């Protein structure tokens, strides 16, 4: 049991005697740090977070409350980008995330705004990799050995199945699902199910919509939007125009349209 005193407040943390924790690291109340883990100088760890054995957390990394990091995770190290030359860059992780064995998450680069960011309530299973400047939302599931290249954005409640590789700058939309062993080189619109090498569209992620509380009426609207986009003779611009004119306005449909309008790499077809 050790204490970390800052601003006249004593925080009690359970730090194993073999762990190496820099004296300037900020360790919150009730944090647990396991055997042989290494915590760097500029790291901040929020209260209630559990860090397993042989975990390395370094760089300008801030981790929120009640996270769980398992054996061998490597968090906040330098990005694997040849344009990176040691400049200060950041990794920010929110609350209540589970980061399993041997996950790697790297800090940002100058080109990407210097920050990699992960939200709340995410599950990153063993051997996942999150490269520099990725932006992850909340309630995301990444199954074993998912690999994200740099500058990827994954929106809330998306599911990425195991052994999937995602190309740099790709966006994965809200409540979308990517099947196992997929190669994703274009944006995946919200609510859509894709699979394959390269990934192609297989339908709507109906199970995901139900699990996230989307009503039957709204699911019907999303199905109509899907038909305009993928099952008609309309091009993408025409499909967007038809959705905008004919579908009932809702936050979900508006988000779908906004995603399509902002697609930079094209969308999976």
121 tagged catalytic: no
From the list 58, 81, 133, 156, the catalytic residue is 133
22 tagged catalytic: no
94 contact partners, CB below 8 Å, separation of at least 6: 64, 118, 119, 120, 138
d(CA 185, CA 192): 15
d(CA 74, CA 61): 12
133 tagged catalytic: yes
From the list 150, 173, 179, 208, the catalytic residue is 150
- From residue 83, alpha-carbon distances to 94, 108, 109, 111 in Å are 27, 11, 8, 9
- Orientation of helix 236-246 relative to helix 216-230, angle to 10°: 150
* Token reading at 8: 């006249």
| Cis amide bond preceding 198, omega within 30 | yes
From the list 34, 132, 179, 187, the catalytic residue is 132
Beta strands in 43-152 (DSSP E): 44-45, 50-51, 56-57, 60-63, 68-69, 74-77, 90-93, 98-99, 104-106, 115-118, 123-124, 129-130, 135-136, 141-142, 147-148
d(CA 265, CA 60): 31
> Which positions are annotated as active-site residues?
132-133, 150
């Amino acid at each position: 049991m050790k204490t970390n005193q800052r601003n006249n407040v004593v925080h009690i943390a359970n730090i194993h005697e073999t762990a190496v924790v820099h004296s300037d690291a900020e360790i919150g109340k009730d944090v647990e740090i396991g055997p042989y883990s290494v915590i760097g100088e500029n790291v901040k760890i929020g209260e209630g977070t559990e860090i397993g054995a042989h975990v390395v957390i370094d760089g300008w990394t801030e981790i929120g409350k009640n996270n769980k990091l398992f054996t061998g995770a490597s968090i906040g190290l330098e990005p694997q980008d040849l344009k990176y030359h040691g400049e200060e860059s950041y990794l920010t992780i929110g609350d209540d995330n589970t980061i399993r064995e041997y996950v790697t998450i790297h800090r940002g680069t100058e080109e990407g705004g210097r920050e990699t960011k992960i939200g709340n309530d995410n599950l990153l299973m063993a051997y996942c990799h999150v490269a520099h400047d990725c932006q992850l939302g909340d309630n995301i599931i990444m199954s074993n050995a998912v690999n994200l290249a740099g500058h990827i954005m994954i929106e809330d409640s998306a599911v990425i199945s195991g052994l999937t590789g995602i190309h740099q700058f790709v966006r994965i939309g809200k409540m979308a699902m990517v099947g196992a062993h997929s190669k994703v080189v274009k944006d995946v619109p919200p609510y859509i199910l894709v699979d394959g090498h390269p990934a192609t569209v297989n339908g709507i992620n109906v199970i995901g919509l139900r699990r996230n509380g989307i009503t039957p009426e709204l699911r019907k609207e999303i199905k109509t939007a899907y038909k305009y986009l993928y099952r008609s003779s309309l091009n993408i611009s025409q499909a967007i125009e038809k959705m905008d004119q004919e579908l009932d306005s809702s936050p979900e449909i508006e988000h779908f349209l906004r995603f399509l309008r902002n697609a930079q790499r094209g969308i999976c077809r």
